[in-house]
Amino acid sequence: MRRVRAAVVAAPGAPFTVRDAELADPRPDEVLVRTTAVGICHTDLGMRDAWPRRLTPMVFGHEGAGVVEATGADVTGLAPGDPVCLTFARCGGCEQCATGHPAYCPAAAAHNFSGGRPDGTSPLSLGGRPLHGGFFGQSSFATHVVVRASGVVKVPSDLPPEVAAPLGCSGQTGAGTVLNRLRPRPGSSLVVLGAGGVGLSAVMAAVAAGCAPVVAVDPVAFRRSLALALGATAALEPGDGLVGALRELTRGGAHHVVETTGRPESARTAVAALRPRGELALLGIGREVAFDVRELLGKGIRVHGVIEGDSDPDRFLPELLDLRARGLFPLDRLVTTFPFEAIETAVAAMRDGSVVKPVLTFA
């Protein structure tokens, strides 16, 4: 058992409060990681507000990066001192995991959203009482984490931890949607609705894949400017006339639209902006959305629901790092760092649109 600092949420919707907590030693299939950076994702905030009261107090955080400090007896391929990126948990033995689609593991809920391990335990405690964790298999809003080895990916020693951190979720979600699921042909048109960390990762991947035009849509001028700097052909503000502008820019409708906001009206805009036999990828966590089935049928629209970019992290994260090394995935440009203790300041900056990807760093 070791003493750690963790951002604890006492009740649904409560603020993040950094507190002293206790962390148990890793089990045979687990790894102890000292956290060096962790990204903040809108999913952390949305889940904090909707999290069941019975699973509080709770530690969130799911874009962790760090250094391995200890490994369980059954762990191979990882050793103390290895720099790593943390990503979502999965069982590793089902059909989806075995065929390279672990984001669709049937046991994903138990591994990522149960408030602990699948057996109901948590390595965290607070004042001698259980502290819920295991968010996306990690709960990395903490100075140290205990995670299953399958959710740990080694990264190069010269990779800045503030860049490694977003790879495990927002980076692979946006880029993987384009490169793993849509797989656009060079010269095909692609529109991204929402230019946050996920959306801009999709923009960078589309540019790297040779899509043309690549169009970003976002209400925040700063984010539109950043999309253009990252290679987008155009960046538009949502509102009246958006569908017509998109259809004109894409010469009759987009081949692909990536919707990251989770807003029903944005999803309907996406369908209207597609050309016949176009493809829509839905990434944003939202509720029900109503489509006119006649429009879907008449245009032959294919709708994809995509989690974590349909990525196999062990394979895909090295591919993203190779793109970055070639200057084609400059994830660094999305990142703004904050000290871990300033987590609520970072949340406010993300919510007001002044930063794209806030990343907490540890002294």
pLDDT value of residue 289: 85
CA 199 – CA 236 distance, rounded (Å): 13
Question: d(Cα 26, Cα 72) in Å, to the nearest integer?
Answer: 6
How is the chain split into domains, by residue range?
Answer: 2-168+311-361, 174-308
Exposure letters 74-99 (e unless 16+ CB within 10 A, then b): ebeebeeebbbbbbbbbbbebebbee
Q: Which residues pair with 235 in a beta bridge?
A: 216
* Side chain identity, residue 347: V
In CATH terms, is domain 174-308 a member of 3.40.50.720? yes
Phi, psi of 152 (to 5 degrees): -120, 125
Residue with tokens 């904050």: 338
User: What is residue 184's three-state secondary structure?
Assistant: coil
Joined tokens for residue 2: 């070791």
* Distance, CA of 262 to CA of 273 (rounded, Å): 17
Contact 122, 130 (CB under 8 A): yes
Query: What's at 262, amino acid-wise?
Result: G
How many residues belong to the chain? 363
Q: Find where tokens 């009740």 sit.
A: 11
| R_g of the chain computed on alpha carbons | 20
**DSSP letters spanning 36-60:** EEEE--HHHHHHHHH--GGG-SEE-
Along the 363 residues of the chain, how does pLDDT read in single tens digits? 899 999 999 999 999 999 999 999 999 999 999 999 999 999 999 999 999 999 999 999 999 999 999 999 999 999 999 999 999 999 999 999 999 999 999 999 999 999 999 999 999 999 999 999 999 999 999 999 999 999 999 999 999 999 999 999 999 999 999 999 999 999 999 999 999 999 999 999 999 999 999 999 999 999 999 999 999 999 999 999 999 999 999 999 999 999 999 999 999 999 999 999 999 999 988 778 888 899 999 999 999 999 999 999 999 999 999 999 999 999 999 999 999 999 999 999 999 989 999 999 998
What letter represents residue 172's amino acid?
Q
Tokens representing residue 68 in the block: 């391995």
3-state secondary structure at position 256: strand
Q: In what order do the strands lie in the sheet with 254-259?
A: 234-236, 214-217, 190-193, 254-259, 274-282, 302-305
Of 303, 313, 312, the C-alpha closest to 101 is 312
CATH (residue range 2-168+311-361): 3.90.180.10
Cβ atoms of residues 266 and 195 within 8 Å: no
Phi, psi dihedral angles at 326 (to 5 degrees): -95, 10
Partnered with residue 217 across adjacent β-strands are 193, 236
H or E element, residue 34: strand 30-39
**Residue 163 CB-half CA count within 13 A:** 16
Inter-axis angle of helices 197-208 and 221-229, to 10 degrees?
Answer: 20
Which of 191, 186, 198 lies closest to 273, judged by CA? 191
Alpha helices in 54-196 (DSSP H): 95-98, 108-112, 161-166, 172-176
Q: State the SS3 of 85-141.
A: EECCCCCCCCHHHHCCCHHHCCCHHHHHCCCCCCCCCCCEEECCEECECCHHHCCCC
pLDDT at 205: 98
